[in-house]
Amino acid sequence: MANTGLVFDYDAVVVGAGAAGIAATGALQSAGLKVVCFEAADRIGGRAHTDTAIFGVPFDVGAHWLHNEHVNALKAPGLALGLDLYPAPENGVTYGLDDSSILWDEVDSLYNAGKQAAQEDAETETATGRPTDRSLADLFVTKGQWSFTAVMTFALSIGRDLPSTSLRDMSAWAGGNDWFCREGFGHLVARTAEGLPFKLCTPVTDIEALPNGVRIKTSSGEITARAVIVTASVGVLAEDVIRFHPPLEADRRAAFELITMGDYNHAALLFRPGAVPLQPDTWLTYQLQPDDTCVARGGGFLCNIAGTNLTSFETSGSFSCALQAAGPKAAIDHGLETLVGIFGSAIKRDFIKGHATAWRHEPYVRGSYAGSMPGGHSQRKVLGRAHAERVHFAGEASHVGQQCTVSGAHLEGLRAAKDVIAQLGQTGRP
């Protein structure tokens, strides 16, 4: 097609209104570019979404933890908006242990061992030229009855089973303290999007490279732009929900095999006041035992979230996937029965209702967040590269250090916007 003289509809288009898409759209608009963001769903926020209708209190259907507070890109905007952000209390409880520090000392020990092992793998790869990357399961060596519970802490953070988790990817995580937003993390993300140009319920189906631009086909018609930023999840991209012309490169396709969507879900349980005898935002753990494949049928509880009497049963990996397949009642029942085993049957009488998420079944997401298989850590940079010059990509999957986080997605959106602004060569229209 000859389109040299084409008048473009927009300077830039953003595909997807999650954290990365919101950040990119805001940066492009602030630079004076004519921009629009297409979102397939009927709301913005993507995997960061706060619902207040289900329980009558803020419930983060997706992301809830502001990880790595010292480098979290959403902390400052949240405070500037006047939202109630606060540190996650250090009041964790481990059922079966009088002193929970025993578990957390082991968590720290495993983390440090993982860092050392990952460094050894990197040095081996440099020396031999052969990709070297163990799985998180290789780090797990039984030292006591709480060892598996300790190592499962990492699995919960990245939504995967231990054998399918890259040790080097886990060790690259920024780390640090967690914070919460009383109004909900999804609410915070939505507030940062105020005043930006979104078109909801508008899936993008095709992106075609043109001379000096792109043609984008949506459910409501075709438009053209000088550049596009695609922030769809790797689950959506790997399954060709969006078709690219020319097709995506072979190395990006290979990266999709190693950077894949994991499973992390909440079974939220609302109780009458005082039913769960723990302080607000207490992280409750209990002893977990692995099966022959290093998988445990269990998770952890974030109790009395922000003092709302809402407790969330957090699960990850294949167990979380199995609960999704069994239906929401299965996850709610498992969480409730586990609490009965900890606090006694009286807690059942104070149970009001529950709600279970199933992110694997969300058609415009297809999982929780993008973790790395062993050997895949270096492929995150491949996912962030531009395609056919004017097709840019951003999301938590392409960030190294804050992968699997809303902050990482936000930072990648800003990075892609900066690349587009530099590519277009100015801060306004021609």
| pLDDT the model gives residue 156 | 78
Longest CA–CA separation in the chain, Å: 74
Contact between 284 and 303 under an 8 Å Cβ cutoff? The reply is: yes
Residue 131: exposure state from Cβ atoms within 10 A (0-12, 13-18, ≥19) = middle
* The token pair that represents 284 in the structure block: 């409750």
Q: How many CB atoms lie within 10 A of CB 1?
A: 8
Q: What is the pLDDT along the chain (430 residues), one digit of tens a residue?
A: 344 567 999 999 999 999 999 999 999 999 999 999 999 999 999 999 999 999 999 999 999 999 999 999 999 999 999 999 999 999 899 998 888 888 878 777 777 888 888 888 889 888 998 878 888 888 766 666 777 787 777 777 778 888 899 989 988 888 789 999 999 999 999 999 999 999 999 999 999 999 999 999 999 999 999 999 999 999 999 999 999 999 999 999 999 999 999 999 999 999 999 999 999 999 999 988 878 777 878 999 999 999 999 999 999 999 999 999 999 999 999 999 999 999 999 999 999 999 999 999 999 999 999 999 998 988 999 999 999 999 999 999 999 999 999 999 999 999 999 999 999 985 344 4
CA dist., res. 15 & res. 13, Å (int) = 7
Contact between 288 and 341 under an 8 Å Cβ cutoff? The reply is: no
CA dist., res. 384 & res. 237, Å (int) = 13
| pLDDT the model gives residue 295 | 81
* The token pair that represents 254 in the structure block: 């290979």
Residue 363: exposure state from Cβ atoms within 10 A (0-12, 13-18, ≥19) = exposed
| pLDDT the model gives residue 426 | 52
| pLDDT the model gives residue 110 | 77
> In which order are the strands placed within the sheet that holds 264-271?
93-94, 282-285, 300-303, 310-316, 264-271, 351-356
Contact between 185 and 409 under an 8 Å Cβ cutoff? The reply is: no
Residue 403 CB partners (closer than 8 Å, separation 6+): 169, 172, 173, 369, 370, 371, 372, 380, 396, 397
| pLDDT the model gives residue 427 | 38
Q: Is the dihedral of CA 103, 107, 109, 110 positive or negative?
A: positive
* The token pair that represents 177 in the structure block: 């303290």
| pLDDT the model gives residue 158 | 78
Asked whether the whole model's pTM tops 0.75, one would answer yes
Angle between helices 19-30 and 185-192 (to 10 degrees): 20
β partners of residue 279? none
Domain boundaries, the chain: 10-45+193-259+369-424, 89-173+265-361
Q: What residue type is assigned to position 398 of the chain?
A: S
User: Where do we find the tokens 């962030």?
Assistant: 384
CA dist., res. 394 & res. 411, Å (int) = 9
Judge: domain 89-173+265-361, CATH 3.10.310.30: no
Which run of H or E residues covers position 19? helix 19-30
Topology of 10-45+193-259+369-424 in CATH?
FAD/NAD(P)-binding domain (3.50.50)
* The token pair that represents 296 in the structure block: 């445990």
